[in-house]
Structure 1
């Protein structure tokens, strides 16, 4: 027994020594940082007290004035550099991208195929996949998918019309989430998901489960997120089996049906099936395997469903508090529609410049993914030794902190779409607006996300007035445990039909 106790004591001592050694890295380099907790590092407030992006935003504010372009941070035991200088942000995301190509997050393409998305995979595989997928999101492809988005928008208008007739205060986020689920379900899978008529539709419920549920009830998140390579070696999985089975069946059935019927819909799935056929014919350079298609269809649905619906919800929340802005937007929408025979057209939506500014300002205040991560592939050794970042360091760009920096955006708490006129954008430094990232690894679906958000908002603002209700939570509170910014308990607003 004494021998066992001695061995345990030795192991514990070695672990504590290794932890102290790891947590001493920034101090040895003289980099400013908060004193880390022995176990949690600097992440102890998450997820009980602060949302993770808020932690990084607060860190940005605290250390921006320090005499370094980044501050040291520990994500549990992982050494992390939180960037506080926009010039270094630009170097990480664009100019020196070859040093920071990967995100360093978990994926396991063998055991957990849904995790091997264009967002998460690395190296040459990512470069090939990104190259293959890029033509799927061109302006021409968006134009082909536009009628599908409009059709779903018309359905949302009917749903709101029925709701406003019998209840004035509505929870907005759930309603617009059903709109985005139907849009992406149609475009990604060619399926009429019926989410707007059926609140319990599978596409909505499984979309929410994919974002909120973890394979091991979150008990192994410490290993999965902190040690992704080790997690792959241990054959760990991120997604729950029911979610994997649901999306696998949907993608398999969709591919089989379209190949059998030769149906063409000019949507996202058409493009994926073309690449799948090339792979089946032996053209691996231009083709995609079934599992690769499965992962991309999955991330397209899950990412677009959540991010666009939360953006629409936050936009309506701000417009409810800024009636002059809402009136100005409604006038623009009506004026442009009048020029297009009161029809929603792709060209007409592009003409709604103020609508785009409203969306961009919403994304400034509420970027869905409010911090960006990169993993240093090579020692980053620029001219100034203060900028040195060693290989293997995680780099965090606190987008939320940058978006609320008063030196970049005066009065950052105020909702001012005029910040995003062409002249105002040109007056700011590069990489000051990061809801979709920037550089070669920016969000591949940003055009689609903005399009479906603009169409949805145009339908709603045209037909309805949104205002603050007693149930409206001001200021907004974020869901603490989520990596994405979302409103705690939804967003409740008073909704009235606009008199024609």
Structure 2
């Protein structure tokens, strides 16, 4: 409206804003009111020292070792998905990829973040699936709040409906009370946060997390984890259905690698799959879940060698989708080509032109978990099924114009055939 916004496109300047000169651009410009809106106190929304302290506390919970502890839980959530798709294939019906993968990620995140068995495939209207949908539903109220929040930041908190917020508050409170009242433990995000508190209590430090803070991080983990991973896998299956040779090569790698691990999809097997990495990297290039990064300048910053000053309070944007589809950095950008990310070619990608998870100190803290979740889902599906485009679907599908996470406007229908 009446205030300036800066869109930066030069990779070197992007590097300065996101990483080298990060102290000038620490804020996302979100309004936080932890009393009236507990969920707003999540890591993504926090700024300054509050963000720094929370990041330090949470970083150890997202290490490779901690993700490995959660791995079997992720794998278990894939079993009902495979059974569900087998039924679809047997009946000769098209698979709604978007819905199937959203059910899978809801089960994974519900289990990993809250320690809850959501059973989304048995009960698509279960509470966590229902409120997971509503968390990203584009209602007129959410759209208006987002528009109003550009002008008056404190109105951004209206984006989450009250019943959605209350559901997560009530659910999380019960879960924590259950954990604290007995000896029940589970390898999930809730337990990792409770362990932080136990350690703080044992050492007499003030590094523990309050109930509201734990709630905020869990809801952030749930929302970010289930929607971004499900849409990424949806986009990936869309491309693989239209690129059968790539799909078959990836299936061969999955089968060959699993054979080395006694036919099991182990954590180590997943990590070893190089072509899977390439396919997923290319999916994230063409379809980055967050199409844009925003930062707010927190103190006057002079752009080196220009004499131009970015004033305090100015919002700075980086178009991830713009970078990823720029032919200067990625020739023939509309083509789905995993070879861009081969060992030989990956080093040629210019720094700070590939940013699917952001970059710098505020890079997505849960990226390892999101990637593992997507790899497990794709491996389970591709090992068991062959996907081809449904006749009603076209290759260049329309992108949803109002979604916070990049996604197709319509459901993605795919033909499914069991691997013989």
TM-score when scaled to structure 1? 0.81
Aligned CA distance change for structure 1 residues 427 and 221 (closer, same or farther; 3 Å): closer
Aligned mate of 1:106, from 31, 43, 65 = 31
Q: Distance in 2 between matches of 1:305 and 1:294?
A: 16
Aligned CA distance change for structure 1 residues 293 and 164 (closer, same or farther; 3 Å): same
**SS at 1:377 equivalent:** coil
Aligned CA distance change for structure 1 residues 444 and 370 (closer, same or farther; 3 Å): same
- What runs of 5+ residues in structure 2 fail to find an aligned partner? none
Aligned mate of 1:137, from 31, 49, 62 = 62
**SS at 1:372 equivalent:** strand
Q: In the TM superposition, what is the alpha-carbon distance from 1:220 to its structure 2 partner?
A: 3.9
Q: Distance in 2 between matches of 1:249 and 1:281?
A: 28
Q: Please name the residue that 2:371 is paired with.
A: 450
The question of 1:200 aligning with 2:129 is answered no
- Residues 452-467 of structure 1: pairs in structure 2 closer than 5 A: 452-467=373-388
Structure showing greater radius of gyration is 1
The question of 1:424 aligning with 2:345 is answered yes
Q: Distance in 1 between matches of 2:72 and 2:184?
A: 17
Q: In the TM superposition, what is the alpha-carbon distance from 1:420 to its structure 2 partner?
A: 1.1
- Residues 37-186 of structure 1: pairs in structure 2 closer than 5 A: 76-186=1-111
Q: In the TM superposition, what is the alpha-carbon distance from 1:309 to its structure 2 partner?
A: 0.2
Q: Please name the residue that 2:225 is paired with.
A: 304
Aligned CA distance change for structure 1 residues 290 and 420 (closer, same or farther; 3 Å): same
Q: Distance in 2 between matches of 1:411 and 1:237?
A: 41
Aligned CA distance change for structure 1 residues 392 and 324 (closer, same or farther; 3 Å): same
Q: Please name the residue that 2:114 is paired with.
A: 189
Q: Distance in 1 between matches of 2:160 and 2:403?
A: 15
Q: In the TM superposition, what is the alpha-carbon distance from 1:277 to its structure 2 partner?
A: 4.3
Q: Which region of structure 1 is more displaced relative to structure 2, 480-489 or 86-95?
A: 480-489
RMSD of the TM alignment (CA)?
1.8
TM-score when scaled to structure 2? 0.96
Aligned mate of 1:226, from 151, 167, 171 = 151
Name the count of aligned residue pairs.
420
Aligned CA distance change for structure 1 residues 498 and 268 (closer, same or farther; 3 Å): same
- The answer to whether the 8 Å contact 1:114/1:239 transfers is no
Bigger relative contact order, structure 1 or 2 (CA pairs below 8 A, ≥6 apart): 2
- Residues 316-327 of structure 1: pairs in structure 2 closer than 5 A: 316-327=237-248
The question of 1:468 aligning with 2:389 is answered yes
**SS at 1:249 equivalent:** helix
Aligned CA distance change for structure 1 residues 412 and 218 (closer, same or farther; 3 Å): closer
- What runs of 5+ residues in structure 1 fail to find an aligned partner? 1-75
Q: Please name the residue that 2:328 is paired with.
A: 407
Q: Distance in 1 between matches of 2:56 and 2:241?
A: 41
**SS at 1:388 equivalent:** strand
Aligned CA distance change for structure 1 residues 279 and 290 (closer, same or farther; 3 Å): farther
Aligned CA distance change for structure 1 residues 386 and 362 (closer, same or farther; 3 Å): farther
Q: Which region of structure 1 is more displaced relative to structure 2, 484-493 or 140-149?
A: 484-493
Q: Distance in 2 between matches of 1:383 and 1:445?
A: 33
